[in-house]
Structures are given as C-alpha cells and as structure tokens.
Structure 1
Amino acid sequence: MVLNGKKLQVAQLLLVVMPAFVLFGYNQSGVGGLLSLRNFAETFPEMDTVTTEGAEKSHKKTIQGTVVAMFTIGALLGAFSCSWFGDKLGRRKMIFLAGILTLIGEILQCSSFHIAQFIVGRFILGWGVGQLSATVPVWQSECSGTKNRGAHTVLDGCFISLGYLLESWINLGFFEINFGPVQWRIPLVFPIFVSIMLMSCVFLIPESPRWLCRKGRGEQARANLARFRGLAQDDPLVATEIGGIELALEETGHSAASMKDIFTMGKDKLFYRFMLCILLQLLQQMCGSNLISVYATILFQDSLGMSPELSRVLTGACLTWKFLSCFVAFFTIDRFGRRILFIISGFGMASCMMSLAICTSFPDTNTGAMGAAAFFIFAFNFFVPIGFLGCNFLYCTEVAPMRLRVPMASISTANHWLWNFVVVMITPVAVNTIGYRYFIVYAVISATIVPLVYFFYPETMGRSLEELEMLFAESPSIMSIVRESKRKPAEGGLVTQHLREKIGKDDDDDDEVEYKV
C-alpha cells in the first residue's frame, strides 16, 4: 500500500484498529444474549437456567457466570503477556499473533458440543483479545500526531460499541429464525471473518516509529513517521519529531530501564503514573459499563420483567445508542481535554446507576418504574463512552514512559480485565440475590471518579508524548504536575525547546533553525 498522511491513518483505523476492537466488543458480549436460548441450554445443560428453578437455578447461574468469565481470565493473561513479548516482537507482530489466537478460540467456541471445549475456546479467544487491547492503543498513540491523537484512539471505544451493536442485532435476527443450533452457532461464527481480516491487513500498515527508534532503527523510523505525517523524509518537522523521540529516550533511559522501576517514584514519578493507569482501568470496569453491555438482555428480561423478544430488541437499541454516543468523545476529546470528559462521564454514570437502583426497588408489576429503569439504562449508555470506552486506553498510553509504555499499558489493561472478570462473574448471582442494591455499588464507585480526576489526573491534551515525559520529570510534585498540565502547551513545545538548547541555536531565529538528529 502506497498511502501517506491522512489516507494511511484512515487505513490503519479501518483495516486493523476497527476489526481488533470489534472482536473485543463482539466476543465480550457475544454469549450473554445466547444464555436464555433453549437449544443452547440443551447443548450445555450445566448452564441451563431456562428449565430450572430455585437452588438449582442459582447454582447454574454461578456456572454460567464462570463460563462467560473465562473469556476475561484469558484476556487478563493475554494483556499481561505483552509485558514480556510486546517490545520484543513489535506492535504489528504482536497484533498478528493475537489475531491467530482469536481465530483458534472462535473456531473452538462455535463448534462446541461439550462445555469443556466451549470453556477452552472462550479462554483462548480472550487471550487474543487481551493482547489486542494492550497493543493496539499503544501502536495508535505512537503513530498519531499530537492534534489528532485523542480522536484517533478514542475511536477504539466506537469500535468496541460497534462490536456490541453487531452482536445484539445478529443475535436478535437468529433468535427470530428459531431453528435449533443455528440460533447460537451462526452468531459465534461471524467474528471468524473479522479475525481473518485483521491478520490479512496488519502488515500493510507501517510499524511504530517510536518502537523503531527504541530498537536503533532510526532511518526506518524516519521513513515511517514521514509516511504517517504525509511529509518528505527530510522535512524539518519529521527531523524535529525524531529528534524529540531520541532525546526522550536519552534522558529517561537510566531511570526507566526495567519493569521493576514501575514500582518506584524517582525523578520520572513512575509509580504515580502507573497508579493513574491502574486506577483508571479499575474505575472503567467498576462503574458498571460491562454490567449493562454483557447482561443487558438478562437485565431487561429478568430484572424488568420484559418478554424475551422485547428484551433483545431493547438490547439492540440500547447498544446502538451507545455506539452513536461514542462520537461525542470523538468530537470533543481534542477540544476540551481528557479530564473534563472523565468528570462528566463519572457524574452521569453515578446519577444513572442511583436512579436505576431506585426504579428497580419497586415491584416488577409497576410498569412506570420499569419504564423509567429502561430509560436510565439508555441514559447510562450515553455517559459511559464519553470518558470510559476508549479514552481510558488512550490516557494510559499517554502518561506511560516511552521505555515502559508497553509493560505499563499491558499491566493496567490486565487490571482492566481482572475487574471485568469480577463484574461478569458476580453479576448473574448478584442480580438474583440482592437485586436493586447491586446498582448502588456502581453508583458509589462512579461518584468517586469526579474528585479523583480533579485532584490527581493531569491533562494530556495538546502535548506530544515526549512533552508529557518531560512534564512528569521536571515537575517537583504531583499537584504541580496537575496544575501545570492545565496551562496551554508552550509555543513550539517543550521538545522543540530542548532540541534548540542542545543544538545551541537561537530561539528567535526560527527561519534559520538547523535541526540536528
């Protein structure tokens, strides 16, 4: 492919990023809508909650939650494995390997006749998706320019929602067919074609220039960066950006040389940056996002007392609304910044969860309360993608240091999958036992997002990854980092200023600056 500039970035988004995160969303929620199908229950009687009652149903709901959650256990380990292999293999090879694993898992899953094979397929599939979720956002942020890095990476959330949307409508379509195993096997076949597309296209896009610089392949890094920016290789802007990358590598090389340094503060405040990522990914899961996405059909059917068909229609509509809501973040993240989106999202989710708890506390015969509960599920799906369906992955790649970007992103993403497992595992049991009180837990956690982000999370908008590196290194305290981040980035950027100082040129003579690398 001989594409440059915006065309190359669009190709990266459509050919690699979109299939990677459609696999994320589709496979994560792909089983939730199948659990109440009679043929599925007959094929896997260990998970049959359709024809059982009482204690037996409660026991099988626990097994159901465990089987569904095997995907997230695999994703947790897959994301964590990137800590060792991500920087060795490079971004593209890691994505290709993940694509192979998703393909194997999907084939095992859709061809299962026994629960053991289904569990193994879920686990392998999750492993591949975990690797994708840890690697693709890093690759995107390292290839994107400062002005559009937020919009490009927040599209991950749009594509996750697209996966949810496709899963819900495909499940509804085959539910109407009502022809035995076709109802659930064909929906599980669909992502196979997405995995093949991902594997076929990933090597058509250039490797990350920042990864190439770290591996000492400067000329190839310069060529790839020029293609992503749509400029000639000898353009001063390309030379400046490559120089900034190499400068950041030089200045942080000693303090961020090994993974164990993540757990120390030091000049670069690595532990603080690590905790920003860990806490953000924890909040993303414990706000209740996947509670709604994975178990929407069950919530409408069991908690709100709606018919199976209406529950699936509302789930499809709800996830379609979530997909459309993702574009709020796309158009605002590089205009208003990351902090304000996190705060608005947290406040909105807390309000909706509390309202949902109040509405579901009434008996399911109260149609007005149940209608209001359905409304707040839709409202919740409006607020989630504003800050916590793509922006969280972006932020973790922005605050991580260059030499530890993949390990830090992979560990924080593994933490994301750990809490995803907790939510998916306990939800069927919790909804069946404590009912509306379960939503209060998520309301309280979502409410903590507002003060945490306001006091501890610096703004990353408008700064290159290398400028952010210097912001953390040069600020004397955590509060000063947050305070300094709210100011408009210096004209020309910190990296350009540092390059000029190292080269010894006059800052005022912009027309005659010679950029050395």
Structure 2
Amino acid sequence: MQVKLRGPPLSWAITLCCASAYLLYGYDEGVVGGLVSQPSFLDALGNPGSGYLGTIIALYDVGCMIGCVTAAIVGFKVGRRYVIFGGCMVMIVGAAIQTSTHGAGQFIAGRIICGIGNGLNTSTIPVYVSETTRSNRRGSMVAVQLAIVIFGLVVAYWVDYGTVHSLSGEIVWRFPIAFQIVFAVVTGAIILLLPESPRFLYNQGEIHKSAEILSQLMDVPIDDASVIFIQAEMEAAVRVEKEQPFRWKRFFEKSDVKTSRRLVICFMLQMFQQFTGIHVTAVYATVILTDNVGLSLETSSLVAGFIQLAFFVGTLPPIFMIDRYGRRRLLLIGAIAMAICMSIFTAAIAVPTVATGRLALAMLILYELWFGATWNCTPWIIAPEITPLHLRHVGGAICAFSEWLWTFVIVLITPAAIRNTGWRIYILFCIMCVVAFVFVWFFLPETAGKTLEEIDYIFATGEAKDRLERQFLDAQEETLDNDAKEIAVNVEGKTA
C-alpha cells in the first residue's frame, strides 16, 4: 500500500520520512560520545582502557563502511526504498543488542550492526531524495536532511546531558541508546508507504510505472509535457550509458562520459569534508575546550552543548541558499572561511592566555557556523547528482564510504594527536581547507538548477556529448510537438 499524495504534499512526506532517518543518523553517531565517562557504562564494558574504548567507538564507522559496500552491491537490484527499510531494521537489531549490553564484545557487535544499517541509509537516502525532487528544489531538500543530522547530534548530546545529571544507575546510558529505536521504527514504517524512485524504475524497464510516479510527484497528468520530457531525457542518458558501460576493472580507462572521474570526485569531496577538522571539533569539543582552551570539565561540557547548537544553526542557511547560489560557490567560500577561522584558532591556542582562550572559543563557534552553512550538506548533494543513473547508488555508496572511512581514521588518531602534538595538529586542518578550495576550483562543475540528465551532458565529451545533445534536442522537439497537439485539441474543442 502506498499513500495517494501528489505534488508538494508528497515531496514533503518523502522529506519528513528521510528526515527521520537522518535524525537517527545524527543521534546514533553522537549518543555514545556523551556516555563514555559514565561509571555504570564503563562497568558494563569491563572498564576498558582509553585506547580500547576509542577502538570500540570507532568500530561503528567500520560497520558504516560495510553498509556502504552492501548498498553499492544490492542497491541496483532491490531499489531505494527497500535498502532504506532494511537499514532501519538492521539498526533496530543493533540498538537492541547495545541496550542489553553486559560486556564489551556484545557492545562491539551491536555498534558494528548499527553501523551497517546506518551505512545502508546514508548511502541511499541522498540518492532517493535527489531522484524524487524537482531540479530547482533538489539541493534544499537534501540540505534539510543534513540539517536534521546535526539536530540529531544536538538531541543526543542533551539527552545524554539530561540523563547524566538527573538519573542514576544503568538507565543513565541504556535509555539514550534504546531511544534511537523510535526513529528507526518511524522511518521503516513510512518508507514503505512512499513511491519508489521513478529513475530507478525507468532504468529497470518499468517505464509506465516510472511515468505514473513522475506525474504523482509533479501533480500533472501522466501524458503532460513535463513527464514526457523527463522520460525522454532519461532515455537519452540510459542509451549513452549502455553504449559505454562501466566496469571496475576499467576504472582508470578514459571514456566519453567520465564515469571514473565522477566517482573520484564523490570520494574526494567527503575526504576533504572530514579533513577540514569538523569531526574533531564536533565529537571532541569537550576535550578541545579542556586541553587546548583551558576550561574546566564542567564548563567545557556545557559550552560544548552550545557549540553543537551553533553547528545546527549554521546548517539552516543552505536550505535557502544552495539552489539559489549554487554548490560550487558555497564550497569555495566555505573552504576559505574555515581556513581563516581554523588558522586564528590554532594561533590562539598556541599562545595560551585568557584573551587568546576567548578568541579561540569565538573562532571555534564561527568555524562550526561556516562548516554548517557550506561543507556540511553540499558533498552529500553533489554525489548523487554527478553520477550516471545506472551507477547512482554506487556514487552514493562511495560518498558515504569515504565519509565513514575518514571519520574512522580521525576518531582513532585525534585523542593521541591532541595529547602528543597539542595545537600543531590543527595546522593539518588549515592546510586541508586550502587544498579543498583548490580541488573544487579546478575539478568541480556547477550542478545547481540542472536535471540529473543534464548533468550527464556537463561531463560528457566527444561522441557521447554530441549524441546526448542531439537526443536532448529531439526530446525538446517531441515535447513541443505534444504541447502543440494539446493546444490544437483545446482550440478545436472550444470552436466546436
């Protein structure tokens, strides 16, 4: 059974469902970070050392990587909805195992299983949203999802903070971990009521079903010119992709549709996103405030909560700017702004005084705002946009895989890096912000306002570009012919 919504109400239903999944993503990523110092939690894990505890937390990212690879393998066969549904069910199992933990081994198993479910979701949801949204609203819809991820982090932090300061015993940590099941149940229940991606269905040969869903999404008749035009674009893209099929063994070979280049961009953007230093400032905010800025543990815990709120506030402007000003411009501005903030922050903590401590805190907040407004959501938007239809699930998986790979690396090395190098570790993030600017400037085209099929045309060269251009022109002529026929019929009817 599927809902009978059409047009904007259906688009918002899709957005809210995916928002619940992303709230789960943010909450699940942040919930354990606020519990790692609780005695009852550590007792349940057998009081592991700091290194072992860091590994336990980081293994979640390994599960996410496994989920991404799984999505890349099965996504083309089962569809976007069923991958998301499966991800939610896996996360429910993982959360239940963690909630009932009575040892480190059980908790590790639950973390990895939860990570697999989250990897399935984070690989697929941006693709599903992009393929079911109009081109002029595609960026803002994905930006809404990523804003909700950060809201999930905020919710997780304050739930942890509230239980720690108002409850006692094992419920302090069992309740926050179990609470994520609510979001998984909501998402899993709603996703099956929503339509499948029309582009996935078209590529599977279900052309009429694809047209029905397109008409439902745009709230127009199935024979409307806009539906016919989009299907003609999809047909042109599919033909070119089939004529130059992608094979992993030919990854480094050149082709006229630049498939390998597009997948590399998906991977690199997420790598640069993590090496701007965001995971350090978001996950280890309390450590930074105590070890680098010089605040007390109690004050650091409270201030870290407000830094998370600042991060969330920064994610709101892209909802309104990303489609108006474009992806490329936001990434370029954000890279420079973050490089400046991180450089001043690094200089301030290198010379510790009361004044420089306040300056460092101000720069940290500004950095979070700039990241939220630019690099937080944009790489997630670009990945499903620039990959060809038959590999869009792979592009989404590579994007998410890169996110979790570098998150794992950074989560693993950060505590030791802060302890052994102090302020010098932040120089790496300053440099990487500048390198990210250079990469975007030279290698990333603008994709805002274009249909997913038009973006194929941006990357294509040689015969593939000429063929796409001819087929798109044919599609436009066919659309105009249909419009003319419809006008003629209307005029004839009025005359009669």
TM-score above 0.5: yes
Query: Are 1:499 and 2:485 counterparts?
Result: no
> Paired residue for 1:29?
30
Matches within 5 A, 1:318-329: 318-329=307-318
CA distance in 2, matches of 1:260, 1:65: 36
When residues 204 and 433 of structure 1 are mapped into structure 2, their CA distance, relative to the original with a 3 A threshold, is same
CA distance in 1, matches of 2:295, 2:53: 21
> Paired residue for 2:141?
152
Deviation at 1:262, TM superposition (A): 4.4
- Secondary structure of 2:33's match? coil
Query: Are 1:512 and 2:484 counterparts?
Result: yes
- Secondary structure of 1:159's match? helix
> Paired residue for 1:398?
385
Query: Are 1:175 and 2:164 counterparts?
Result: yes
CA distance in 2, matches of 1:202, 1:475: 41
**1:24–1:163 Cα contact (<8 Å) kept:** yes
Matches within 5 A, 1:78-477: 78-363=67-352, 366-474=353-461
**1:65–1:427 Cα contact (<8 Å) kept:** no
CA distance in 2, matches of 1:185, 1:307: 27
- Secondary structure of 2:300's match? helix
CA distance in 1, matches of 2:373, 2:56: 30
- Secondary structure of 1:382's match? helix
Deviation at 1:149, TM superposition (A): 0.7
Deviation at 1:511, TM superposition (A): 4.7
**2:14–2:194 Cα contact (<8 Å) kept:** yes
- Secondary structure of 1:436's match? helix
Deviates more, 1:284-293 or 1:68-77: 284-293
Normalized against structure 2, the TM-score is what?
A: 0.92
Deviation at 1:373, TM superposition (A): 1.9
Deviation at 1:305, TM superposition (A): 3.4
Deviation at 1:476, TM superposition (A): 9.2
When residues 140 and 262 of structure 1 are mapped into structure 2, their CA distance, relative to the original with a 3 A threshold, is farther
> Paired residue for 2:493?
none
**1:165–1:316 Cα contact (<8 Å) kept:** yes
- Secondary structure of 1:434's match? helix
- Secondary structure of 1:204's match? coil
When residues 368 and 248 of structure 1 are mapped into structure 2, their CA distance, relative to the original with a 3 A threshold, is same
When residues 260 and 214 of structure 1 are mapped into structure 2, their CA distance, relative to the original with a 3 A threshold, is farther
Deviation at 1:340, TM superposition (A): 0.7
Deviation at 1:312, TM superposition (A): 2.5
**1:106–1:121 Cα contact (<8 Å) kept:** yes
**2:58–2:412 Cα contact (<8 Å) kept:** yes
CA distance in 2, matches of 1:510, 1:231: 15
**1:157–1:391 Cα contact (<8 Å) kept:** no
CA distance in 1, matches of 2:392, 2:253: 15
- Secondary structure of 2:315's match? helix
Deviation at 1:87, TM superposition (A): 0.8
When residues 161 and 353 of structure 1 are mapped into structure 2, their CA distance, relative to the original with a 3 A threshold, is same
Deviates more, 1:31-40 or 1:141-150: 31-40
User: Which letter maps to 1:373?
Assistant: A
**2:380–2:399 Cα contact (<8 Å) kept:** no
> Paired residue for 2:490?
none
C-alpha RMSD of the superposition? 2.2
How many percent of aligned residue pairs carry the same amino acid? 29
Deviation at 1:462, TM superposition (A): 1.3
**1:466–1:495 Cα contact (<8 Å) kept:** no
Deviation at 1:261, TM superposition (A): 4.8
Deviates more, 1:257-266 or 1:331-340: 257-266
What CA deviation, in whole Å up to 9, does each residue of 1:81-140 have, x standing for no partner?
111101111000000110011111111112212111111111111111111111000111
When residues 322 and 305 of structure 1 are mapped into structure 2, their CA distance, relative to the original with a 3 A threshold, is same
Deviation at 1:260, TM superposition (A): 4.2
Deviation at 1:308, TM superposition (A): 3.4
Deviates more, 1:301-310 or 1:141-150: 301-310
CA distance in 1, matches of 2:179, 2:289: 25
When residues 33 and 476 of structure 1 are mapped into structure 2, their CA distance, relative to the original with a 3 A threshold, is farther
CA distance in 1, matches of 2:460, 2:334: 29
Deviation at 1:255, TM superposition (A): 0.9
**2:76–2:390 Cα contact (<8 Å) kept:** no
What CA deviation, in whole Å up to 9, does each residue of 1:382-429 have, x standing for no partner?
011222222111101111011111112212321221111001111111
